């Protein structure tokens, strides 16, 4: 450059600009230059799930990352002129909570439609269906969700006779909690072509009365006989349901949900929500077996650059639910001696898919509740592992999962460890199932059911999900269940095996770090550490110190995902 005055002017401008940048983005504290944060949270009870630094008072966030974890005093050095500060006045801050097993669109459908969850009386359930149906025009399908008979004094399922008196021209279907059985009224069965002569499909059952007439209850694969005739929701309605589900989970304090079986149509809607800035929780996504699974194998794993969406799994169902006697057992049901439940997987179809998944880095997760279903699934996994040795796999550690892991024979518990399978349990189901489980499988089999602590003690990789909308999808309920293992009144009996409850630290990691590990994310999130994603769940009571039942009185204060406040009370 020939003009020294011009050159010196440029140098001066650069120095001034650098000084402004440093002054704006950095602050001096403790003798070190520190970057000014976007968000600083102080005066909090922070539980990090990091064994090297388990508690803290403050955390600082820049963009989507945690840049500081420590004391309130040291956090002052990260506060700049544009930093948003939050004085938590002792509120509890946790790593962003992860629901390791949920059905996000179904949650939204529950929140926006006929919600029958939490009604402990048969007549009240029927009345709520009637009140809803009275507002619906003749000919329009009515779909409800969430009913459960576990506390009804009648101790029976809903049937068509409960629904027919007020619905002669309105087809009604109501999903039992668990999503493995439905009740349909006579109009719905008429439109679906169901008669006394309709046979049970493979892997399913039509419940019948003493004369062989369908009662209206359809279990597992038999549900499709009705569901295939329900008009598909519009794209717009599905998007509203997904948004309602996402917003509900963020409001509850979840930072990530792990979708247990979905499809590419819903995925496209989630991507739209993400592009619009409305995806308020992370979504780790598994496609449902069948056509969607084959699409995933063809297309491969995909994720957004910010890791808000990660598509990496295939979901199978090995059996049904214990409550509807669809869970596949090694020995007959105590209260149905002619039944051992149903196996829903064709191994000849599943095994090639599983082998391809190993070669392409796709995770397999399989719903297995009964002890036979767990053994059957382990057998399939073991065959796939033998067919595709580690050197032929895209991921040497495939982290395959069994969802629910509800009744596991002792010999198969050892196989979980030997095959390094994740057990992803459903904690909150205990307070409901253990009212009827003794009748289904008896006290002896319950010794190997709903295992938590003993699985962890054996070194089995462990996590938990809500299975919402089967359960509410409330992290307070899940944490309470993990550390208390009673109902909300403190009731339990010997069949509940309260010795299987977890410590508070184990419960915290189950819902944070271990759930992240089940999704290959433990290096990115799951604990509050510098360099990890800024996902935080904040509540107004300290779950680690208060009595377990008091957890239910706490409220979500804030949910932060990817460095952004997604929900604030």
Q: What is the pLDDT along the chain (569 residues), one digit of tens a residue?
A: 445 554 555 555 554 444 444 444 444 444 445 789 999 999 999 999 999 999 999 999 999 999 999 999 999 999 999 999 999 999 999 999 999 999 999 999 999 989 898 898 999 999 999 999 999 999 999 998 888 887 898 989 999 999 999 999 999 999 887 678 899 999 999 999 999 999 999 888 999 999 999 999 999 889 999 999 999 889 999 999 999 999 999 999 999 999 999 999 999 999 999 999 999 999 999 999 999 999 999 999 999 999 999 999 999 999 999 988 999 999 999 999 999 999 999 999 999 999 999 999 999 999 999 999 999 999 999 999 999 999 999 999 999 999 999 999 999 999 999 999 999 999 999 888 888 899 999 999 999 999 999 999 999 999 999 999 989 999 999 999 999 999 998 988 889 999 999 999 999 999 999 999 999 999 999 999 999 999 999 999 999 999 999 999 999 999 999 999 999 99
What's residue 3's pLDDT? 55
From the centroid of its chain, how far is CA 304?
20
Contact 79, 35 (CB under 8 A): no
The Cβ-side half-sphere exposure at 386, using a 13 Å CA radius, reads 7
The Cβ-side half-sphere exposure at 246, using a 13 Å CA radius, reads 25
Angle at 104 between CA 101 and CA 108, to 5 degrees: 140
Are β-strands 45-47 and 92-95 bridged in parallel, bridged antiparallel, or unpaired?
Answer: parallel
From the centroid of its chain, how far is CA 381?
22
Alpha-carbon dihedral 262, 264, 270, 273, rounded to 10 degrees: -160
What's residue 33's pLDDT? 56
Q: What secondary structure, in 3-state letters, does 164-222 show?
A: HHHCCCCCEEEEECCCCEEEECHHHHHHCCCCCCCCCCCCEEEEECCCCCEEEEEEEHH
Q: Is the dihedral of CA 370, 374, 375, 376 positive or negative?
A: positive
Contact 282, 256 (CB under 8 A): yes
Question: Could you tell me the CA-to-CA distances from 474 to 284, 302, 364 in Å, in that order?
Answer: 18, 29, 26
Question: Could you tell me the CA-to-CA distances from 274 to 79, 100, 511, 534 in Å, in that order?
Answer: 29, 20, 24, 17
Verdict on whether the full-model pTM lies above 0.85: yes
What's residue 11's pLDDT? 53
What's residue 16's pLDDT? 47
How many angstroms separate the CA atoms of 560 and 70, rounded? Answer: 18
Contacts 24+ apart (CB under 8 A), 294-303: 294/353, 295/264, 296/362, 297/353, 297/356, 297/357, 297/360, 297/362, 300/360, 300/361, 300/362, 301/360, 301/361, 301/362
């Amino acid at each position: 450059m020939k003009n020294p005055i011009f050159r010196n002017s440029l140098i001066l401008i650069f120095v001034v600009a650098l000084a402004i940048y440093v002054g704006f983005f950095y602050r001096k504290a403790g003798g070190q230059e520190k970057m000014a944060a976007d968000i600083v949270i102080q005066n909090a009870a922070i539980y990090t799930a990091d064994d090297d630094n388990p508690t803290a008072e403050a955390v600082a966030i820049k963009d989507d990352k945690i840049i500081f974890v420590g004391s309130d005093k040291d956090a002052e050095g990260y506060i700049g002129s544009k930093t948003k500060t939050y004085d938590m006045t002792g509120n509890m801050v946790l790593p962003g909570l992860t629901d390791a097993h949920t059905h996000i669109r179904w949650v939204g459908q529950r929140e926006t439609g006929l919600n029958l969850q939490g009604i402990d009386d048969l007549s009240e359930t029927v009345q709520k269906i009637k009140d809803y149906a009275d507002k619906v025009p003749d000919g329009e399908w009515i779909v409800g969700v969430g009913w459960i008979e576990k506390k009804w004094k009648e101790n029976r399922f809903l049937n068509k006779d409960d629904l027919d008196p007020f619905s002669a021209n309105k087809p009604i279907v109501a999903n039992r909690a668990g999503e493995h059985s439905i009740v349909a009224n006579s109009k719905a069965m008429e439109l679906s072509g169901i008669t006394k002569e309709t046979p049970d499909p493979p892997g399913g059952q039509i419940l019948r009365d003493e004369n062989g007439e369908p009662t209206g209850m359809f279990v597992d694969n038999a549900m499709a006989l009705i569901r295939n005739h329900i008009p598909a929701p519009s794209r717009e309605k599905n998007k509203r349901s997904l948004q309602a589900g996402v917003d509900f989970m963020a409001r509850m304090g979840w930072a990530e949900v792990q979708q247990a079986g979905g499809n590419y149509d819903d995925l496209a809607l989630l991507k739209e929500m993400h592009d619009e800035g409305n995806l308020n929780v992370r979504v780790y996504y598994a496609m449902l077996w069948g056509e969607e699974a084959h699409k995933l194998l063809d297309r491969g794993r995909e994720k957004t650059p910010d890791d808000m969406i990660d598509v990496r799994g295939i979901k199978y169902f090995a059996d049904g639910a214990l409550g509807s006697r669809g869970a596949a057992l090694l020995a007959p049901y105590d209260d149905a001696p002619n039944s051992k439940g149903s196996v829903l997987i064709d191994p000849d179809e599943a095994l090639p898919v599983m082998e391809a998944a190993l070669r392409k880095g796709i995770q397999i997760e399989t719903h297995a509740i009964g002890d036979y279903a767990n053994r059957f699934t382990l057998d399939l996994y073991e065959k796939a592992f033998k067919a595709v040795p580690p050197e032929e796999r895209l991921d040497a550690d495939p982290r395959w999962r069994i969802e629910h892991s509800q009744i596991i024979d002792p010999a198969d518990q050892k196989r979980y460890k030997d095959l390094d399978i994740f057990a992803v349990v459903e904690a909150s189901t205990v307070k409901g199932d253990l009212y009827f489980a003794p009748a289904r499988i008896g006290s002896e089999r319950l010794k190997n059911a709903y295992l938590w602590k003993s699985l962890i003690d054996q070194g089995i990789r462990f996590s938990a999900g809500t299975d919402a909308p089967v359960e509410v999808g409330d992290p307070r309920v899940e944490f309470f269940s993990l550390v208390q293992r009673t109902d909300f009144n403190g009731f339990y009996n010997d069949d509940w095996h309260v010795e299987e409850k977890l410590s508070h630290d184990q419960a915290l990691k189950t819902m944070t770090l271990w759930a992240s590990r089940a999704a290959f994310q433990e290096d990115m999130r799951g604990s509050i550490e510098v360099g990890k994603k800024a996902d935080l769940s904040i509540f107004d009571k300290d779950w680690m110190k208060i009595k377990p039942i008091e957890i239910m009185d706490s409220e979500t204060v804030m949910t932060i995902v990817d460095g952004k406040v997604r929900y604030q009370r």
